Structure 1
Amino acid sequence: MIDISSITRAGIIPVFSHPDLEVSLAIVRACYDGGLRAFEYTNRNAQALDNFREVAALVKRDMPDMLLGAGTIWDVPMAETFAEAGADFIVSPIMNPAVGAWCHQKGLLWSPGCMTVTEVFNARQQGAELVKVFPGEVVGPAFVRSVKSVMPDVQLMVTGGVEPTAESLGTWFGAGVSCVGMGSQLFSKQAIAEKNWATIRQTVAQAISVLRSL
């Protein structure tokens, strides 16, 4: 199993999926060139698995220090398929104990989605080292503070409602998250449509700079 610090050290985890393989590969490379070393590629379209395999091959060949996670994983067969395709870690929008048990058996880091204190507790009981707070825009930073007040050693990653600004990042990290997941906030539709990968690389680098300045 990968060390959780390898993910939390990155601070920002890009969350992305696209039916176009060229776009997917370019986004991963832009994030890597911008300074990020962990990436969550989500299972949100019919091409996701095939694209994930190609992304995994790219990462293995050109970015050996990049951790590649599979996101939007609902059940064990899905987790197994993406693990075989090269996933270093598994992320879910829900807390499915069966997925947690399978990941533990296979030595894969598992980050389940939770939005109540009970779910966070149960996720930890199932072996989750990094709990995904989702949807972040619904529960808010106050929820994170409340969870940390009763479970101070829990590692939380919030996804949803995070912006690459000092105010947003400062609020979430100040509340106690260990890292954040960001998608559309890093990848503008215009930049993707124009294939302006340099802009995305700059956005990523700027977000890292903002986080380090906090």
Structure 2
Amino acid sequence: MSKLSRLEVLNIMGSTGLVPLFYHEDIEVAKKIIKACYDGGARVLEFTARGDFSHEVFNELSKHVQKNYPGLALGIGSITDGSSASLYIQLGADFIVTPVFREDIAIVCNRRKIPFFPGCGSLTEIAKAEEMGCEVVKLFPGSIYGPEFIKAIKGPQPWTSIMPTGGVEPTEESLKDWFNAGAFCVGIGSKLMIKDSTGSYNYTEIVNLVKKCTSIIKELKGK
């Protein structure tokens, strides 16, 4: 069961503005990634359920986070149906993220008061998601739509909160483009998960890059 309320998760997302995305089948590696992101200032993380037995890894990570990282919201991404959402909520997911909007997942999340961030690609999809209780929608893939899409949506719907994912770079230029366009927060995956020449994660560089991004975002949100 989630340790954070729906409003707490949304407030953390809005204040930090960064959601690192990651997946690894090795629980110890995943723990080190979480520590690196946390040390860099991230307070919301999305574990993408893309591997076999990913629920077993998430189960251990959820317990680890609840014990060692108070105030850190750990959610689950790449969910495709309501039953999977229910499973991960039982395992402690603080929020659910999907590549598309699904009513069955919205119903499950609303019943348990868990934030649901669905992938949307049109104003119609966004409006439908909001009608089903979604406070934040994911713009995916962000590289296809670009910051101008958010700016256009915020015209007729200034209340809409959008999280672009897939196409956001951990650079000042990219972050400035997205937040100046009106992004609520951004999701960044592989671009944050720096590896060394051997293919292993460089945790020190992950800390530094996350710290750089959170600093830039804080400045942009302070304007």
What is the TM-score when the length of structure 2 is the normalising length? 0.92
Please report how far the alpha carbon of residue 132 of structure 1 lies from its aligned counterpart in structure 2 after TM superposition. 0.7
Partner residue of 1:101 out of 60, 84, 107: 107
| Residue in 1 that maps onto 2:83 | 77
Q: Does 1:125 align with 2:126?
A: no
Partner residue of 2:6 out of 2, 7, 20: 2
CA contact (8 A) 1:109 1:128 kept: yes
Q: Does 1:31 align with 2:37?
A: yes
Cα separation, 2, equivalents of 1:48 and 1:191: 27
| Residue in 1 that maps onto 2:66 | 60
Please report how far the alpha carbon of residue 193 of structure 1 lies from its aligned counterpart in structure 2 after TM superposition. 3.0
Q: Does 1:210 align with 2:216?
A: yes
Code of the aligned partner of 1:176: G
- SS of residue in 2 equivalent to 1:88: coil
Query: Which sits farther off after the overlay, 87-96 or 43-52?
Result: 43-52
Code of the aligned partner of 2:117: S
- For the aligned residues, what is the CA RMSD? 1.3
Partner residue of 1:142 out of 117, 141, 148: 148
Code of the aligned partner of 2:25: P
Q: Does 1:185 align with 2:212?
A: no
- Aligned residue pairs total 214
Code of the aligned partner of 1:183: G
What is the TM-score when the length of structure 1 is the normalising length? 0.96
Question: Which digits, 9 at most, give the CA deviation of each residue in 1:13-40, with x for residues without a partner?
Answer: 0011112222111101111111111101
Q: Any unmatched runs of 5+ in structure 1?
A: none
Identity in percent: 38
Cα separation, 2, equivalents of 1:180 and 1:104: 23
- SS of residue in 2 equivalent to 1:101: helix
Q: Does 1:166 align with 2:172?
A: yes
Q: Any unmatched runs of 5+ in structure 2?
A: none
- SS of residue in 2 equivalent to 1:64: coil
Cα separation, 2, equivalents of 1:119 and 1:102: 18
- SS of residue in 2 equivalent to 1:151: coil
Q: Does 1:155 align with 2:172?
A: no
Partner residue of 2:57 out of 51, 55, 72: 51
- SS of residue in 2 equivalent to 1:150: coil
